[in-house]
Structure 1
Amino acid sequence: MCGRFSLTTELDVLLERFQIEQTRIDIDTPRFNIAPTQQVPTVIRAGESNRMGTLRWGLIPFWAKDPSISNKLINARSETADQKASFKHALKKRRCLILSDGFYEWRRTKDRKIPMRIQVRNGEPFAMAGLWEKWHDNTSTIYTCTILTTEANELMAEIHNRMPVILTKETESIWLDASLSDLKELNKCMKPFPSSEMNAYEVSTLVNSPKNEEPECILPVN
């Protein structure tokens, strides 16, 4: 699964890297320990351009009667998303990029769980495959998202059996194309990212609590 991540990359770098033409947020404040229920930086395709905004992490399906269902829907298994009522509609038409420069996972040992930070290449920003929904009742409207996961690659297998779907530069544009709903094409996007292009290192147990949001969260433990 993916239950925590970071985004410390400067805004101008993100705008160029993900070809963002419109943005509604200023994210120059680095995020070291992003957690479920928080607003997360995302990109959607608006007409012919990419637009950056925020969505609340934890999907509320449009048909849900109780918004607390979002607590159980921070992740969606890519292998079965097209079969689940919570995700299948969004998979066809409401896909997004969830921006990150590192995610956390906990490696289990005999007596404890060790927090690890996993990155792409040299710590460059990357996009995780996401789904989004608009939910409303008589009093409010909430925009939410979930992160798709896939089986672990060789690097991740030593830490956890699942990992987020990390898109390549080529599959990012496919993922954002709302006119595309062919499952075979979408499945090509939802593959484990190559181990050779990733690295992982141990970090402080500060990340165990979402209350901790400080630079020490991303520093390696010597």
Structure 2
Amino acid sequence: MCGRFTQIKSRDDYLDFLLEEAESGIPYDPEPIGRYNVAPGTKVLLLNNRDEAFHLDSVVWSYAPSWWDKSPLINAKVETAATSRMFKPLWNHGRAIVFADGWYEWKKEGDKKQPYYIYRKDRKPLYFAAIGKQPFDVGDEAEGFLIVTAAADQGLVDIHDRKPLVFSPTAAREWMGPETTEAQASELAHDAAVPADEFTWHPVSRAVGNVKNQSPELIRKTDTTSL
């Protein structure tokens, strides 16, 4: 995953697919989020389950604990996150979900890189697996969250060798569940991801490369020969 995605719909649209109204104590808000170019280092709505309730917090997409002397990280590989010294505490106690509609990847074509927008064929919301430093509503902003990535498979590998780990609504709920053990979370990560054949993609304008651009035009299919 190269590090850009969209969060376009209203938070109610994402929650409607995920939670029953009676169990969601999150205030009603039908206003579209309208972010067509979500970039690392910005605050992103993050759904998590703590203190026996669901919470939707605005959390920085990056992770750099105080002892880390390199650039902030934005992704964690599913193959190693559950066991690595750095990510294991987050995997065990900081599992969350990021809402999305699709994500961008860049593919080298000739001497240039062409961006593609990837999304579900049925246009349903995406639920990215994430891990971070709990509690998400307080603490050091530098210790935000990371999106969990997995190896791309089937046609998706033609665009990029990594992809965000996308869950179905049922798997997303289990992933966040306080009662879900570390081992069960690992099983979900390896067995419950939405398969590649449920996704499609198309080329988009290179304007997505500029984080200042937030227009709906960014996700519109474009003719690569005209770029």
Query: TM-score normalised by the shorter chain: which range applies?
Result: 0.7 to 0.9
| Aligned counterpart, 1:158 | 158
Which 5+ residue runs of structure 1 have no aligned equivalent? none
| Aligned counterpart, 2:216 | 215
Q: Work out whether residues 132 and 145 of structure 1, in 8 Å CA contact, stay in contact via their aligned partners in 2.
A: yes
| Partner AA of 1:133 in structure 2 | K
| Aligned counterpart, 2:107 | 107
Q: Work out whether residues 43 and 58 of structure 2, in 8 Å CA contact, stay in contact via their aligned partners in 1.
A: yes
- Give identity over the alignment, percent: 25
Question: In structure 2, what is the Cα distance between the partners aligned to 1:130 and 1:25?
Answer: 23
Aligned pair partner of 1:28 in 28, 32, 36: 32
The alpha-carbon distance between structure 1 residues 26 and 163, as it changes in their structure 2 partners (threshold 3 A), is: same
1:27 CA displacement: 5.8
Which 5+ residue runs of structure 2 have no aligned equivalent? none
| Aligned counterpart, 1:53 | 57
Normalising by the residue count of structure 2, what TM-score does the alignment of the two structures yield? 0.85
Deviations 1:36-87 (A, max 9, x none): 00011110013333221211000134xx235x75x44100001001232221
Normalising by the residue count of structure 1, what TM-score does the alignment of the two structures yield? 0.87
Question: In structure 1, what is the Cα distance between the partners aligned to 2:74 and 2:30?
Answer: 24
The alpha-carbon distance between structure 1 residues 134 and 46, as it changes in their structure 2 partners (threshold 3 A), is: closer
The alpha-carbon distance between structure 1 residues 15 and 82, as it changes in their structure 2 partners (threshold 3 A), is: closer
| Partner AA of 1:65 in structure 2 | W
Calculate the aligned-residue CA RMSD, in Å.
2.2
| Aligned counterpart, 2:12 | 12
Question: In structure 2, what is the Cα distance between the partners aligned to 1:15 and 1:182?
Answer: 25
The alpha-carbon distance between structure 1 residues 25 and 34, as it changes in their structure 2 partners (threshold 3 A), is: farther
| Aligned counterpart, 2:80 | 80
Q: Work out whether residues 82 and 91 of structure 2, in 8 Å CA contact, stay in contact via their aligned partners in 1.
A: yes
1:25 CA displacement: 7.8
1:38 aligns with 2:39: no
What is the number of residues matched between the two proteins? 213
Q: Work out whether residues 12 and 30 of structure 2, in 8 Å CA contact, stay in contact via their aligned partners in 1.
A: no
1:134 CA displacement: 5.0
Higher strand share: 1
Deviations 1:94-131 (A, max 9, x none): 10001100100011223111100100132221110000
Question: In structure 2, what is the Cα distance between the partners aligned to 1:186 and 1:33?
Answer: 29
Out of 147-156 and 41-50, give the one that drifted further.
Answer: 41-50
Question: In structure 1, what is the Cα distance between the partners aligned to 2:157 and 2:58?
Answer: 31
